[in-house]
Structure 1
Amino acid sequence: METLLLWLFYISSFYAFIPGIISRLFGYRVFRKGTGGQEFALTFDDGPDPQYTPRLLDLLNKHGAKATFFVVGSHAEKHPELIRRMHAEGHLIGIHNYIHKSNWLMRPSTVRKQIERTQDIIYGITGERSTYYRPPWGIVNLFDFSKRRQVKIVLWSAMFGDWRKKLGAERLTEKMLARLNPGEVMLLHDCGMTLGADPEAPEYMLSALERTLEEAGIRGLRSIRVDDMIKAAEKSPLSRMSFGRRLLVGVWLIWERCFHHMFRLRTVTPNLPFLHYRLREYQGKTVTLDRGMALNKGDRIIEIHVDNRQLFEFGMQSRSAAQLAIRIIRRMDRDLPVLAGIVARDESLAEAKALYGVSMINRGPEKFGFAVKDLPEGLFARLTKFYLRILLSVIHPAGGARLKERSEALVPKIIAMPVSQLLDTYGQRCAGTKLRKHQDAAAVLEDDLTDEELPGAHAH
């Protein structure tokens, strides 16, 4: 009996669990997220629903937004008028099986019939065959990968739990706004009749979505169909990335999330993360800062980290190191005044001696007021250099080739700034004078950058 159970475990792992992990973590043979631009994708599962889908379509039309509907075939069969309206109003219609049942619980032939039956229903209503597929709950099995020539599997990058009414419109809005970024593929539901969902939940989703679309308009973001996002992504460097490099990026980003959790990093701008920070005691050798100040072992510092996921995305969107550097400069220029405001309002942060980080740079941070110092030789310096070289090979537009050029310049350095200087320089940015002064400094740096100089690439 134990042998039989063991074999069942092996088979189920090979058939279901391992493919699911590979697709979720590394995006293998599935589409999960777009890149760059000012576009994001709204996707809706489980419909159409006669009560909520018409209101959703009205809302999308009001804001000029396009979306992708992954419809359940049996629901589409009952409400063909809603499928016709989706199609007529320019939305993409995808497949979500004929019934909402996990692919792990069906044989490969049954899954194929579910897809084909739903595909035939969509074709019979719209005259077009759908080639985009989202398995229920996003659960893929081993044989789903073999359908690549017939359908494109689409998962998501942002899920909010909007099928539960206890989440409420306010909390759902907060979660959606926190993930309102270019390239995001948002998962929402326009039907609450699925097992485990609350029938009234789409009411709260519609309220949160309206506020999200209003904010998207303010930020200059727009919702597009998944197929348009895929076409744009296929033109990006990410689409040409080898599976080995994708694996490296996936593992690296998992480590990033673990690091943030372990060390309880806080984020300067949670809605669009770039700078993270934590308060701790300095443990290194004495470092001389500006204003005649020295940083000694035991002094309290605000340690800063650049968001590596953002660095990776910037790298994928940039055609050169100079363009990548300019993106980083602009984000630093935006986040440092916000950080100054946070520090000014938090007594424990304001009492810290310095803002501190480690970065692989040649020049750049000094334009923002940081002192740039050599990292003392030792095990920490060697490990940091090794880590940052891997990081740079991932985010740099030239990839690993960058490491072969001027490798002697790729050394980690300390960047530090007295907290008093942070507050003086950035605390009054809204006053105008210092804002213009700092913008001029950033402009000089942009003009001065070459492909051999890359500010950023901060270590953990």
Structure 2
Amino acid sequence: MTILNIVSTASRTGMQSAWMAWEGLFDQITKIRSVSVTQYGICKLVVRKHQGKSIACHDGYYINAGDYVGELHLDNQKVLELSRTKGADRTALMTARMLRKSLEQISYAMEHNLEFRKVKALTGITLLHRGIIHGLGFNQHPIQSKCLRIWLTIYLRFLLRVLHPVGKQRVKQSSSKLVPMMLMMSRQTLLHRYQKEVQS
């Protein structure tokens, strides 16, 4: 390994550590501003009220302003640990499998925990909607607000550059495809899809 590579690796590790420290602070703020924050495997489930326009799920259910939703947030610390030990391709596969397992756990909690009875849908925002969520049951919606879309694009691309092993190259080569999308899955679809998987 050359001196340049050593310096680059040290710089990247430093940026990752700084980012995770920021996320720790953000998690504390999120807990204060949300109804609840719960960990399920590789996902954090943040329950809060939906704001903005009504959104249609693909099964015909609508999520309206004021309805409770569960926001899904990947645990970036766990993803970072995987990327450092498993490599980019294996990390993507393992993350997708762990995400499916988290959805099974969340489905069970939605059905059995009283605190989640009012949650009408799962939502999330991601750049990786073309790969990581394939076959999981979400439908996609563009971010309606132009200002929010621009901010999320900058934020999520930077996150990808910092945490993903080949994030810098990926942003350069596929920037036109790395557009943030909102993911949505109704409570009914979640229970129907993942309770069947748990029982099978």
What's the TM-score once normalised by structure 1's chain length?
A: 0.39
User: What is the CA deviation profile of residues 106-134 of structure 1, one whole-angstrom value per residue up to 9, with x for unaligned ones?
Assistant: xxxxxxxxxxxxxxxxxxxxxxxxxxxxx
- The superposition leaves residues 44-71 of structure 1 with CA deviations (integer Å, 9 ceiling, x where unpaired) of xxxxxxxxxxxxxxxxxxxxxxxxxxxx
User: What are the within-5 Å matches in structure 2 for residues 121-136 of structure 1?
Assistant: none
The residue identity in structure 2 corresponding to 1:250 is S
Counterpart CA distance in 1 for 2:19 and 2:85 is: 19
User: Within the alignment, does 1:382 sit opposite 2:150 as a pair?
Assistant: yes
For residue 400 of structure 1, what is the amino acid of its counterpart? K
Structure with the greater alpha carbon radius of gyration: 1
Match of 1:327 in 2: 94
In structure 2, runs of 5+ residues without a counterpart are 32-36
The answer to whether the 8 Å contact 2:16/2:163 transfers is no
Alignment pair present for 1:242 and 2:9: yes
Q: Is the 8 A contact 1:381 1:412 kept in 2?
A: yes
Q: Which residue of 1 aligns with 2:65?
A: 297
1:266 aligned residue: 38
Q: Distance in 1 between matches of 2:20 and 2:100?
A: 25
Aligned mates of 1:426, 1:349 — CA distance in 2: 16
Among 386, 392, 397, the alignment partner of 2:160 is 392
What secondary structure does 1:407 align onto?
coil
Mapped pair 1:415 → 2:186: no
Counting matched residue pairs gives 191
SS of the residue 1:376 aligns to: coil
Unaligned runs of 5+ residues in structure 1 are 1-233, 433-460
Amino acid at match of 2:27: H
TM-score by length of 2: 0.86
What does the per-residue CA deviation read over 1:3-42, in whole Å, with 9 as the maximum and x for residues that have no partner?
Answer: xxxxxxxxxxxxxxxxxxxxxxxxxxxxxxxxxxxxxxxx
The SS at the match of 1:292 is: coil
User: Partner letter of residue 401 of structure 1?
Assistant: Q
* Structure 1 vs Structure 2 CA RMSD: 2.2
Q: Which amino acid aligns with 1:266?
A: T
2:67–2:119 CA contact under 8 A, matched in 1: yes
Aligned equivalents of 2:147, 2:62: Cα separation in 1: 23
Q: CA deviation at 1:343?
A: 1.5
Aligned mates of 2:167, 2:136 — CA distance in 1: 27
Counterpart of 2:111? 344
CA contact (8 A) 1:354 1:419 kept: yes
One-letter code aligned to 1:349: F
Q: Distance in 1 between matches of 2:40 and 2:174?
A: 33
Once the two structures are superposed, the pairs formed by residues 66-215 of structure 1 within 5 Å of their partners are none
Deviation at 1:242?
3.0
Q: Alignment partner of 2:73: what SS?
A: strand
Which structure has more relative contact order (CA 8 Å, sep 6+)? It is 2
User: Using the alignment, how far apart are the partners of 2:8 and 2:81 within structure 1?
Assistant: 13
